[in-house]
Structure formats: structure tokens, C-alpha cells
């Protein structure tokens, strides 16, 4: 299984849940590789700052002295040679690698080497912007170009849509309603799919936020 994931927060969240699954014996202990230098460095920060863990993490791990970001099945890949060596390993494994939208980084090489293999599963756990390799994989295109070469997509493509790091439309509206907006002059929508932005703009206007504008590429706005 190959999982494209953003190096900070998304990778650590995945590691946390894999640890939970292994700890509860829901899945067997198979090798899990985090192959991203930035993700490895970021994970080390998560490991040493246990005072920042929420109550659930303390309850699940610290009370029985297990590190949620370092367990027997998990291995951190740092060097390029180690990363390349993963291509020669046999048997089941999970590779978590960046970039999250598959546009750069080591994930590109893992996809190039495995996307045509029908025994590979590519698990998508994040937003894929238009015109990215990740979006083309999400759209299940039959062929994709990776590093200038065309590859037939034979791998199984799966998605989990529960890892979004952004507030949804209801949470964003509740956030606005929780503050004093008497001096608010304008709301600019700068993120999200175009059709979703239109729906969100309508929703905000229905809730009293009438001065909402969708930012368009190339336009200038005076504040």
C-alpha cells in the first residue's frame, strides 16, 4: 500500500492510527515505512513534546508507556539509498511518503515503480487539486504521466475522506458567528473547489454574511 501524505500532521495522524490498529490487533504487524525527510523530522517533534498530546492520546498510549509515533512495525527512511531499497523488498508493506498531491518528492518515484502493479493499493487521504498527479489518480485515469513517462494504472485506488485538516462549511460558519463581526467589511473566499465556493458563499449569505466575495485569479482587491 502506498499512501501519499503531507509531511506535517497528516503523516503523524496516519502513524497514530496505524499504531492504534496494530495495538488493538485489528491489523497484523506488517512493515510501515515513513519515507519523507521532512515527515521524519516533524515526527521527532511530535515524539518529544508529549505535553501537547490530547487526553485520548495520553489515555491510549502514555499510561502503558508506548510511543504512538514509534512502534515495532514502523521504520523511518532518511537516505535516498534506503528509499530506493524499498523497491526491492518483497512481501506486504505500507509506504507513507510526501508530497501529498503527488507532484514532487519521493512519492513520485514510488508511484512510478508501483502504479502499474495490480497487487499495489494506492490510498488517497487528502485533497487533490486540479491538474495534479494526485487528482488524475483520484479520477482513475487509465494512464498517467510520471516524470515524463506514461504509466498504465493497474493499481487499486482507494480513498478515505475523513482526514481533512480544514473546517467544513458549518464549522466555519459557527466560527464566524462566535465572534464580534460588527466591524467586518468583507469576507474573501480563497480556498476550495470553485463549485463548493459558490455553495459556501450562498450559505454565508443565508446566515447574514452578505459581503462575501470569491477571489478570482488575476484580479486585484483593495482593502
Exposure letters 73-84 (e unless 16+ CB within 10 A, then b) = bbebbeeeeebe
- Residue 145's nearest CA partner among 112, 123, 117 is 112
Query: Into which CATH architecture does domain 2-159 fall?
Result: 3-Layer(aba) Sandwich (3.40)
Instruction: Say if residues 32 and 74 touch (Cβ distance below 8 Å).
Output: yes
| pTM over 0.85, yes/no | no
Angstrom distance (rounded) from CA 155 to CA 102: 15
- The domain limits of the chain are 2-159, 169-214
Nearest alpha-carbon partner for 198 in 162, 165, 169 = 169
All three cell numbers of 127, joined, read 485533497
**What would the DSSP string read from start to end of 126-150?**
S---TTSHHHHHHTT-SEEEETTEE
Task: Let me know: does 203 contact 173? Beta carbons within 8 Å.
Answer: yes
How is residue 29 written as a grid cell?
504487524
109-160 pLDDT, tens digit per residue, is: 999 999 999 999 999 998 898 899 999 999 999 999 999 999 999 999 999 9
pLDDT tens sequence across 46-89: 777 777 777 777 776 666 556 566 666 788 898 899 999 998 89
158: enclosing H helix or E strand: strand 156-159
Digit-coded pLDDT (tens) for 167-206:
788 889 999 999 999 999 999 999 888 898 999 999 999 9
Amino acid at each position: 500500500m502506498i499512501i501519499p501524505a503531507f509531511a506535517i500532521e497528516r503523516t503523524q495522524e496516519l502513524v497514530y492510527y496505524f499504531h492504534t490498529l496494530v495495538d488493538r490487533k485489528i491489523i497484523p504487524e506488517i512493515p510501515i515505512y515513513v519515507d519523507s525527510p521532512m515527515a521524519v523530522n516533524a515526527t521527532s517533534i511530535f515524539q518529544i513534546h508529549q505535553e501537547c498530546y490530547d487526553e485520548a492520546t495520553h489515555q491510549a498510549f502514555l499510561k502503558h508507556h508506548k510511543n504512538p509515533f514509534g512502534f515495532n512495525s514502523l521504520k523511518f527512511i532518511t537516505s535516498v539509498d534506503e528509499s530506493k531499497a524499498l523497491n526491492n523488498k518483497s512481501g506486504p508493506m505500507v509506504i507513507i511518503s510526501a508530497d501529498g498531491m503527488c507532484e514532487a518528492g519521493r512519492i513520485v518515484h514510488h508511484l512510478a515503480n508501483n502504479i502499474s502493479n495490480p497487487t499495489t493499493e494506492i490510498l488517497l487521504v487528502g485533497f487533490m487539486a486540479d491538474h495534479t498527479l494526485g487528482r488524475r489518480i483520484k479520477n482513475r485515469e487509465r494512464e498517467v504521466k510520471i516524470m515524463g513517462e506514461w504509466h498504465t494504472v493497474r493499481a487499486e485506488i482507494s480513498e478515505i475522506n475523513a482526514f481533512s485538516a480544514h473546517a467544513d462549511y458549518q464549522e466555519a460558519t459557527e466560527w464566524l458567528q462566535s465572534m464580534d463581526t460588527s466591524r467586518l467589511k468583507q469576507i474573501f473566499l480563497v480556498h476550495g473547489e470553485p463549485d463548493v465556493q459558490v455553495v459556501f458563499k450562498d450559505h454565508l449569505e443565508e446566515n447574514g454574511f452578505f459581503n462575501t466575495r470569491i477571489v478570482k485569479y488575476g484580479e486585484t482587491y483593495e482593502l
